[in-house]
Amino acid sequence: MNAGHTPGYPIKKIKEALCSAFTSKSELASMLENQFRINLEDVARGEDLNEIVDNLVLDFDGQKRLGKLIDKALNEKPDNDELKKLYYEKIKISSSLLTILFPLEDNIIKACCIALIILSSKGNNMV
């Protein structure tokens, strides 16, 4: 369990992928400016790149925007293998969730319809 983190996003892998894609503070700052119009200094500071990336990921995680961070980082560095792995892992998780959620919608609708039919047959005027 990744307590406090956005479900489905492996925080350690995100940090490693960002460090592999953006090997300097200036590269990371450039990505944030180009993709988000965000100044790196406004969201993450640190002594070295690892600390800055840690703080950046924490900031985006707190805003529930890790998916957006991965997408935009991949836009900036489309050939980075680590970012590609994260992106496809994200898609796999999303499609797995959809296979769980879509049947739930049908079951909820059926349950509501059955409840309405029962209430109607009992002469309940709530319908």
In the prediction, which pLDDT does 4 show?
45
Residue 126 lies in a domain: no
pLDDT of residue 98: 53
| Contact call for residues 33 and 39 (beta carbons, < 8 A) | yes
pLDDT at 89: 76
User: For residues 105 and 127, what is the distance between their CA atoms, to the nearest angstrom?
Assistant: 21
- The answer to the question of residue 61 being in a domain is yes
Asked whether residue 119 is assigned to any structural domain, the reply reads: no
CA distance 69 to 11: 12
| Inside any domain, residue 116 | no
| Cβ(57)–Cβ(51) below 8 Å | no
According to the model, what pLDDT value does residue 100 have?
A: 60
| pLDDT, block means (10 residues), the chain with 127 residues | 50 94 97 96 93 95 89 94 84 54 65 70 61
Report if residue 53 sits inside a domain.
yes
pLDDT computed for residue 39 by the predictor: 95
Q: Assess if residue 82 is contained within a domain.
A: yes
**How many domains, the chain?**
1
Q: What is the pLDDT of residue 30?
A: 97
Asked if the structure places residue 108 within a domain, the reply is: no
Please give the pLDDT value at position 5. Answer: 45
Which range marks the domain in which residue 50 is found? 11-97
Residue 60 lies in a domain: yes
